[in-house]
Amino acid sequence: MPRFRLHLAYDGTDFHGWQRQEPPGASPLRTVQGVVEEAVSTAVGAPTRVQGASRTDSGVHAKMQIAAFDTETRIPVDRLAAAISSRLPEDVQVLSAHAAPAEFDPSVHCASKGYRYRIRHGVGQGVAQPLFDRRWVWFTFHRLDPAAMQRAAGAFEGTRDFLAMTSADHGRETTVRTIHTCRVRAIDAHDLAIDVAGPGFLYNMVRIIAGTIVEVGRGRIPATEVTAILDSMDRRRAGPTLPAHGLCLEWIHLDPKWRCEA
């Protein structure tokens, strides 16, 4: 059966994350995977399961999600994105569609993912809280120190046990992960972004990393203490889990064999 690959974007505000959720004895929750499967199934005229590369949490956005599905369809591949998008709600879009090899797996063949956490800080003195981008930017009245935050960010890079940076119910056999890059970028005097990239992350991991870096920016945790927090593998020593709406899956890089033009 032919396999197809989709590049998707969505505003995660009104979704319970990517992964389909069907609580026993209750109606299915609204998830990105659920609405995409419904749209694909309607477009091709047959029930179709869709597999994603990354399980974004409830409220988390994506500018680039990759998914795949198998189906027989008479829709030409160059019209498939439009056919599916026309059946999607306004907070999800198919950016492009491609034919894919039968063995393509968006999760297995993902080489790295890049997340960005956006923050507005030190609001006041004529600088307003987020309004038009309030669903995508977390704000704090505390004035943060981006230079100290950048010094702390470097401690997260590399391969190590990130037990201190995940929730107790992470559900994984191992908490060892690799972070390729972790950087803090000051956009202007009141806006900054925390960028984290790696092949895979634990439950709430990026939001806890961001929360720990924010605590450094507030002066509550010294930048030099981050390595000790990681070594302790004690979640209680790390910063808070920041709200989901500031986080966005910015990009996904596939292994070179599986790349194609977006």
Over pLDDT 70: what percentage of the chain? Answer: 96
Annotated catalytic sites, by residue? 57
Domain boundaries, the chain: 3-108, 110-251
State residue 215's pLDDT score.
Answer: 98
The model's pLDDT over 38-55, given as tens digits with 9 standing for 90+, comes to 999 999 999 999 999 998
State residue 126's pLDDT score.
Answer: 67
Tokens of residue 28, six digits = 């299915």
Q: How far is residue 178's CA from residue 230's CA, in Å, rounded to a whole number?
A: 13
The model's pLDDT over 111-128, given as tens digits with 9 standing for 90+, comes to 999 999 999 998 776 678
Over pLDDT 90: what percentage of the chain? Answer: 85
Q: In sequence order, which residues have a C-beta less than 8 Å from that of residue 12 and are 6 or more positions away?
A: 32, 56, 58, 59, 60, 61, 62, 244, 245
State residue 262's pLDDT score.
Answer: 43
Mean pLDDT of 186-213: 95
Tokens of residue 77, six digits = 């591949």
Q: Encode 237-256: b = buried (16+ Cβ within 10 Å), e = exposed.
A: bbbebbebbbbbbbbbbbee
**The CATH number of 3-108 is which of 2.160.20.10, 3.40.50.1100, 3.30.70.580, 3.30.70.260?**
3.30.70.580
Of 129-133, 135-139, 144-148, 223-227, the least confident: 129-133
* Among 154, 170, 151, CA closest to 233: 170
Q: How far is residue 229's CA from residue 234's CA, in Å, rounded to a whole number?
A: 7
State residue 64's pLDDT score.
Answer: 95
Which fold, 110-251? Alpha-Beta Plaits (3.30.70)
- pTM score, whole prediction: 0.93
Mean pLDDT of 138-159: 96
